[in-house]
Structure 1
């Protein structure tokens, strides 16, 4: 069916901010890499291709559930979807070093101005899509506290974690837990200018999982 020319879906630009997921997709050291095998292929007596996939739910662009860092937290299939859909702001913090601090995002968060409910932070000039970055940039817990105080409900990053890769205390994740923040990791923001967008990044309804892949996109507001 042809969509009418006036339909907003045909006129508002989309940015796909999900990196490819395949056998080359990096995962956290020790986690389950992406593997796919065919259990059925089209041929005599079989009309379809069917695959079986084994991987971590933290592969590619994904949403962590509270259960990931809180033994009493909700699994991803039980979380409210509201934080994953709606207005957001993309902020560039290139060259931020090991931790993203308030100083790296303040230029896009002017005092006295309304704060967006969702904040996505770009830290890489080019997001690593085939190699795990052991020196990945995390978030300063004080920054997350400050953003929560200003009404932010979701944090997104092009990094594989909001905490440094070697962290055992997961201080940033614990702020997410205490303040009820949601998080998206492994977003590909390479081609996205700073500014305001509509975020669409819904997790799957995996009722007992600690995370879910998402197909994350940004849509122009006009």
Structure 2
């Protein structure tokens, strides 16, 4: 097996003022504190953004009041060999969509869905594809390492989505949301998606990279 370290594929969303946001989340803002063009010695900006902006991870504390925060999570969940599966179901990732897939304990699983097309738009879509409760329980029982998806939430909007988070985060399964998988084919990759080390943090933007593998 060979990992092509010289061919990184950036699957992160570009952060900018007009990007896609979860409804009512803080939007990205940048204020220039100093600019060379205005006679300063360096360019320096101050940024404001929500901790779940763009491509990001969730920590257990996001949905569990006594869950681990960013400085305490196992960051090894956010790098390693990953399996990308394309799910054709246009509504939800159901148990029957994944129970025959080669998913094993300790896997990093990334789901590519119709969401990858939706991410190209700066309009939030309520009908994005999320992981169903039954599928979440199945993956939790499998004891996978991490689950990623190509929209801003791993679960459907509403109560079901919140429960999906609790099921996965209750077992400290890593969650990566907002992956840009539009140009990614099914298969195995090596992934890196490391969060910031923020004390007490419940989530963090990440720079998610996939490296092709030759088996």
TM-score normalised over the length of structure 1: 0.86
Instruction: Name the counterpart of 2:204.
Output: 212
Is 2:69 the counterpart of 1:75? yes
Aligned length: 210
Aligned pairs for 1:55-204 within 5 A: 55-97=49-91, 99-106=92-99, 108-109=101-102, 114=104, 117-124=107-114, 125-129=116-120, 130-167=122-159, 170-204=162-196
Shift of 1:106: 4.0
Shift of 1:138: 1.5
CA contact (8 A) 2:118 2:125 kept: no
CA 1:39–1:86 in structure 2 vs 1: closer, same or farther (change >3 Å)?
Answer: same
Shift of 1:115: 5.4
Is 2:26 the counterpart of 1:36? no
Shift of 1:135: 1.7
CA contact (8 A) 1:84 1:199 kept: yes
Alpha-carbon displacement from aligned partner over 1:122-144 (angstroms, at most 9, x marks no partner): 11251424222222222112212
Alpha-carbon displacement from aligned partner over 1:168-200 (angstroms, at most 9, x marks no partner): 771101111322211000000000000011110
Which has the greater radius of gyration? 1
CA contact (8 A) 1:88 1:116 kept: no
- Poorly superposed stretches of 4+, deviation over 6 Å: none
Q: Which runs of 5+ in 1 are unaligned?
A: 1-6
Shift of 1:89: 0.3
CA contact (8 A) 1:26 1:33 kept: no
CA 1:45–1:138 in structure 2 vs 1: closer, same or farther (change >3 Å)?
Answer: same
CA contact (8 A) 1:91 1:119 kept: yes
Instruction: Name the counterpart of 2:21.
Output: 27
